Amino acid sequence: MANTILVGAQWGDEGKGKIIDVLTEGADIVVRTQGGNNAGHTVFIGQKKYVLHLVPSGILREGKLCVIGNGVVVDPVSLVDEINGLTKLGIKVDGNLLISETAHLVFPYHRELDEQREILKGKNKIGTTKRGIGPAYGDKAARTGLRMIDLINAPRFELLLKQKIKENNEILKALGAAPLSFKKVHAAYRAAGDRLRPFVANTVVKLHEAARRKANILFEGAQGTFLDIDHGTYPFVTSSNTTAGGACTGSGVPPNRMDRVVAVMKAYTTRVGEGPLPTENAEIADLLHAMGREFGATTGRARRCGWFDAVATRHAAMVNGIDELAVTNVDGLDSLERIKVCEGYRCGSTRLEFVPNDIEVFSKCVPIYREFPGWNTPTTHAREWRHLPVKARSYLKAIAELTGAKLAIASVGPSREQTIFV
Ligand code: IMP
């Protein structure tokens, strides 16, 4: 399989969890490199549904080593809950998970600040998951964050946490929020630290040792290209690099050790949270929601839905260097007579072929659509490319061509079997 970076080509929730699970079969190691428990990767195995937030999806297959890399922000209490939940479901989490000692920690004051900042922003809010992700990465960039290596050093942790709680309580009080109890936070985090200690390691060294042994490494991306802190629709983004480069900085594995980039995109577009979504459309949103689809795995929020936006995915192909595409949720379009695809934006009198950086300009972009005939036939039973209706094949080929990358996988349902290799 070689070393593969997997990214989302849209606004997150592209169905990466399922594709990661499929690709994991050929991997020895699966690494998370950015984000935190704002992510929610859903994987169906048989009738069982697993939702992973911080633990890499490789945990669901025996014999795979999972790594939470240095670029991830870890809420240790929530990670312990996730590990306990997996164990209860019969998934082994023992000796097959490593957590980088330099991964930064998320604390209750990050979550509280996240919430307070959203309140202050009012109608301009980002629509965050309120998991404290922005404030935690903020501390990392300001060089005032605490890391896993601090959590497992009891005396140092106590000292550092005392200072952080004192400082953040002043800020919380000024914002009108309740201050935090050092004692309570300390007790919960120390307990989580003790539980996580056996997993904490120098993951950069471990990954390089594995790469020397020619292990196949899968770098599983969280969120999507347009939520990237540098390349997304700023400020309506998350706080990490969700694009392919983030896999290198978030793991310590250099670019010349990466072999391919696989991008996942839906056959249409969705977004949770605020910010522009040029192809947003009530008809397709109502249809998908009525089918019980497109509700967030982390927050349960109904996702905003729209037609496929090829301007966006072309942009994603540019910044990620996409080698192969996996198109998911093809079956979501099964009942439509006509399907629209955005192939350009009209902005005033100008036609744009890329996503503009100015958020005000982007908000005013009007999609230029091409129409495709719908296949109006269920695709969920298709297991091979030739089983798909001709109109579905034409549609998939067209969106891959418009994106400018090779179509490798089409997914027609949540289970492993509903995966077509093209
Ligand atoms: P944050 O990452 O919680 O700060 O949220 C920032 C933006 O990213 C919001 O629009 C969230 O809805 C979005 N976001 C964060 N994580 C995910 C995800 O896993 N899927 C989809 N959107 C996400």
- Verify whether residue 13 is a known catalytic residue: yes
Q: pLDDT-based confidence at 111, cuts 50/70/90?
A: very high
- pLDDT, tens digit (0-9, with 9 covering 90-100), for 120-173: 999 999 999 999 999 999 999 999 999 999 999 999 999 999 999 999 999 999
- Nearest protein CA to atom 2 of ligand 1, as residue: 238
Q: What is the pLDDT of residue 2?
A: 87
Beta bridge partners of 295: 302
Cis peptide before 389 (omega within 30 of 0): no
pLDDT tier at 106, thresholds 50, 70, 90:
very high
For the Cβ of 128 lying below 6 angstroms from any atom of ligand 1, the answer is yes
If you write DSSP's letter for every residue of 301-339 in order, what string do you get? PBPEEE-EEHHHHHHHHHHHT-SEEEEE-GGGGTT-SEE
Strand 97-100 with 65-68, pairing: parallel
Q: Give the residue, by CA position, lying nearest to ligand 1 atom 22.
A: 12
Query: Measuring CA to CA, how many Å separate 151 from each of 27, 28, 39, 55, 228?
Result: 30, 28, 23, 18, 28
Place of tokens 């000292």: 159
Asked whether the beta carbons of 220 and 57 are under 8 A apart, the reply is yes
Kindly state the average pLDDT of the residues 311-323: 98
Fold of 104-196: Adenylosuccinate Synthetase, subunit A; domain 2 (1.10.300)
47 backbone dihedrals φ, ψ, rounded to 5°:
-90, -5
Reading the block at residue 181, the tokens are 């109890």
Whether 298 has a pLDDT exceeding 80, the answer reads: no
Q: How many CA atoms lie within 13 A of 69 on its CB side?
A: 27
Beta-carbon count within 10 A of 285 CB: 18
- CA angle at 376 for the pair 371 and 382, rounded to the nearest 5°: 115
Average pLDDT over residues 33-61: 91
For residue 128, count other CB atoms closer than 10 A to its CB. 24
Q: What is the mean pLDDT of residues 387-415?
A: 97
**Domain boundaries, given as residue ranges, for the chain:** 4-101+200-261, 104-196, 265-421
The tens digit of pLDDT for each residue in 322-373 reads: 999 999 999 999 999 999 999 999 999 999 999 999 999 999 999 999 999 9
Give the single-character DSSP code of 38: T
Mean local confidence (pLDDT), 227-232? 98
Helices (H), 142-281: 148-151, 154-174, 182-196, 203-212, 245-249
Do 421 and 327 touch, CB atoms closer than 8 A? no
Q: Report pLDDT digits (tens) over 236-285.
A: 999 999 999 999 999 999 999 999 999 999 999 999 989 999 999 999 99
- Residue pair 284/306 in contact by the 8 Å Cβ criterion: yes
pLDDT at 107: 98
Q: Is the CB of 129 under 6 A from ligand 1?
A: yes
Tell me what pLDDT residue 43 has.
85
Using 50, 70 and 90 to split pLDDT, how confident is the model at 48? confident
Residue nearest to atom 15 of ligand 1 (CA): 38
Bridge partners of 271, per DSSP, are: 304
Q: pLDDT-derived band of residue 231, with 50, 70 and 90 as boundaries? A: very high
Could you tell me the distance, in angstroms and rounded to a whole number, from the CA of residue 133 to the centre of ligand 1?
9
Comparing 90-99, 184-193, 203-212, 293-302, which segment has the lowest mean pLDDT?
293-302
Strand partners, 42: 51
| Per-residue model confidence (pLDDT) at position 1 | 64
Token readout for 42 is 């859903």
- The pLDDT of residue 72 is above 70: yes
Q: Where are the beta strands (DSSP E) in 53-192?
A: 65-68, 73-74, 97-100, 104-105
For residue 155, the surrounding DSSP H or E stretch is: helix 154-174
Q: Is 41 a catalytic residue?
A: yes
Task: Assess if CATH 3.90.170.10 describes domain 265-421.
Answer: yes
Determine which of 143-157, 289-303, 306-320 has the lowest per-residue pLDDT on average: 289-303
Task: Determine the distance separating the centroid of ligand 1 and the alpha carbon of 381, expressed in angstroms.
Answer: 32
**Percent above pLDDT 90 for the chain:** 93
Architecture of the 4-101+200-261 domain: 3-Layer(aba) Sandwich (3.40)
In sequence order, what are the residues at sequence separation of 6 or more whose Cβ sits closer than 8 angstroms to the Cβ of residue 390? 375
State if residue 40 touches ligand 1 by the CB under 6 angstroms criterion.
yes
The structure tokens listed for 10 are 């849209």
Q: Which protein residue has the closest C-alpha to ligand 1 atom 11?
A: 128
Cα(186) to centroid(ligand 1), Å: 28
Task: Report whether residue 133 contacts ligand 1, using a CB cutoff of 6 Å.
Answer: yes
Residue 246's H or E segment, with its range, is helix 245-249
Q: Residue 371's pLDDT is what?
A: 98
